Chain A
Amino acid sequence: MKVLVPVKRVIDYNVKARVKADQTGVDLANVKMSMNPFDEIAVEEAVRLKEGKEHHAAGTATEIVVVSIGVTQAQETIRTALAMGADRGLLIQSDADLEPLAVAKLLKAVVEEEKPDLVLMGKQSIDGDNNAVGQMLAALLGWPQATFASKIEIGGGKATVTREIDGGLQTIAAELPAVVTVDLRLNTPRYASLPNIMKAKKKEIAMKAVADYGVDVAPRLKVQKVTEPPKRAAGVKVESAAQLVETLKSAGVL
């Protein structure tokens, strides 16, 4: 089974995003960038499908292709995935910040070329927080989807996926080929070992341009402004639990 894993280069999870003074966006100059954490989980699961870790049979995945759409430096993100165990990479270079619909259309073109049996990807990127590309890719391909996966089992031509939904867990079976988007508790991604980082340097990353795919990536949304959320002022300190209850009662909260 061939697995395609789309990955995105985003602001590092531990860095606080700061809004630019001119309200045109978030300041990414000299900010640490990393692989989107949900995508890291998708890469890890793909590698486990290949290695036969956990409940997966060895060789469930035979080839893992990683694709990223973004600036030239997104090669580093792909390289990280290769060091984790993916086989080869593809970067579709774009300096523009593409919208989810455009990304889904580009990925559809990649899927038609690569013909994977499974697309494994993060449920959302931690910059745009749209939570849309996986679902849109599945719809454009006419494929079934299983979003927010916390467990994946491959067998019988299906992906049986446990999903994290409001109020609990739901398990569905989706016929392959399918798109599965992953949630936080699916696995804990590995750190790449030094030998694997060295090996990854020799793996191939194909470079393409958005124009190579002939799809419409024109923006549909205009960002009018990006602002900081209203700040909550720090309140008062109380001395004891009894005083807390008294204060809440007199404020009419209890």
Chain B
Amino acid sequence: MAVLVIADHDGSIVRDTTHKTVTAARALGGDVDLLVVGQDARAVADAAAKIDGVRKVLLAEGAGLGKALAEAVEATVLPLAEGYDAILAPATTDGKNYAPRIAARLDVAPISDIVEVVAPDTFVRPIYAGNALETIQSSDAKKVITVRSTAFAAAGEGGSASVETVAGGEAPKTTFVGEEMVKSDRPELGAAKIVVSGGRALGSAEEFHAVMDPLADKLGAAVGASRAAVDAGYAPNDYQVGQTGKVVAPQLYIAIGISGAIQHLAGMKDSKVIVAINKDPDAPIFQVADYGLVADYKTAVPELMAALG
């Protein structure tokens, strides 16, 4: 048994999602190799080689590989597929973009967003926005899987795998035009230990930032938002926590002025401790919150800031 994990990185560092996907790969059993696809990604490959339990790192570099275009990743992975029983990628937007392409070309049913490895051919994954969990057994000889990283612990560091170079693929019909990444000094939403999220109750973009940003900075937290707040234009798209946005599982999740729609709960209910502040005592968010404070955020948040010192 051999498993290939496609690494998630930003061109200079290996993201935590890779370490978590390695843990899922090790649960399948057998050897785990990592594939780093990128442009000038030698440093990433060297860092990836230190992840515990990795046999070797394959490095595919090329001028067109910096942006993980799905066609290019597909063309890089396909020639390597023969040597592996399973190909895993984190269920990031990149992983979700290229993994089904690889599966289709291998004539394999992709298995999306697994949260548990039951056996090397059997997995648990959420369906219906997390309202149900299905346990599925694959009859395909080769498996192509994306991994919900918040469901797995990160593999440690201390390994010393070798790095081998492999050929990179191309995306002849697709060109990268540009990108607009949100810059922030705060921790990344998906990886933060504390997340503070705001809802529609905040009423405007100005109010959202005036209330949420200082609280996040005080706690060293990432800022999230409900879909209602994002749709109303109070918070940018990539703040959205929920089934159609980010799925987070921090140590502490503080929901402010969020009612707790099903689709939001699906994105945060695996958080270790949930705190809800809402003036409506019947808000569904209180049904999942470990600690609830029935109060208007307008008075509760300043008091919270003061109590934090």
**A contacts, CB < 8 Å to B:** 11, 16-19, 26, 99-101, 104, 126-140, 143-148, 150, 160, 163-175, 178, 183-185, 219-229, 232, 234-242, 244-248, 251, 253-254
Query: Are A238 and B181 in touch, CB under 8 angstroms?
Result: no
Residues of A within 8 A of B104 (CB): 101, 104, 135-137, 139-140
The B interface, classified by DSSP as helix, strand, loop or mixed, is mixed
- Give CA–CA (A83, B137) in the complex, Å: 40
User: What are 30 A-B residue pairs whose CB atoms fall within 8 Å in the complex?
Assistant: A19-B131, A100-B100, A104-B104, A129-B243, A131-B113, A144-B71, A144-B173, A144-B174, A150-B237, A165-B93, A168-B180, A170-B178, A172-B67, A174-B173, A219-B109, A220-B140, A221-B109, A226-B127, A226-B132, A232-B274, A235-B291, A236-B292, A237-B293, A237-B294, A241-B295, A241-B304, A241-B307, A253-B251, A254-B219, A254-B308
Residues of B within 8 A of A131 (CB): 96, 100, 112-113
> A16-B262, A237-B293 known; A145 and B101 CB under 8 Å?
yes
A146 to chain B, nearest CB (A): 8
User: Which of B127, B238, B252, B291 contacts A127, CB < 8 Å?
Assistant: B127
Query: Are A228 and B133 in touch, CB under 8 angstroms?
Result: yes
Query: Are B100 and A238 in touch, CB under 8 angstroms?
Result: no
Query: Are A132 and B127 in touch, CB under 8 angstroms?
Result: no
Query: Are B128 and A244 in touch, CB under 8 angstroms?
Result: no
Residues of B within 8 A of A144 (CB): 71, 171, 173-174
Query: Are B290 and A236 in touch, CB under 8 angstroms?
Result: yes
- Give CA–CA (A253, B293) in the complex, Å: 17
**B contacts, CB < 8 Å to A:** 67, 69-71, 74, 92-94, 96-105, 107-113, 122, 126-140, 171, 173-182, 188, 190, 219, 227, 231, 237-238, 243-244, 246, 251-252, 262, 269, 272-275, 286-295, 300-301, 303-304, 306-308
Query: Are A237 and B134 in touch, CB under 8 angstroms?
Result: no
> A129-B126, A144-B171, A244-B275 known; A101 and B134 CB under 8 Å?
no
> A168-B238, A232-B274 known; A126 and B128 CB under 8 Å?
yes
> A129-B126, A236-B290 known; A229 and B133 CB under 8 Å?
yes
A240 to chain B, nearest CB (A): 7
Query: Are A160 and B177 in touch, CB under 8 angstroms?
Result: yes
User: Which of B131, B190, B303 contacts A17, CB < 8 Å?
Assistant: B131
> A220-B140, A222-B137 known; A168 and B182 CB under 8 Å?
yes
Query: Are B127 and A26 in touch, CB under 8 angstroms?
Result: yes
Chain A residue with Cβ nearest B305:
A241
Residues of A within 8 A of B293 (CB): 237-241, 244
Residues of B within 8 A of A254 (CB): 219, 252, 308
Query: Are B134 and A223 in touch, CB under 8 angstroms?
Result: yes
Query: Are A234 and B105 in touch, CB under 8 angstroms?
Result: no
Instruction: From B97, B135, B137, B238, name the one whose CB has the most chain A CB atoms within 10 angstroms.
Output: B97
> A11-B128, A229-B126, A241-B303 known; A132 and B100 CB under 8 Å?
yes
Chain B residue with Cβ nearest A229:
B133
> A127-B128, A139-B105, A232-B269 known; A172 and B275 CB under 8 Å?
no
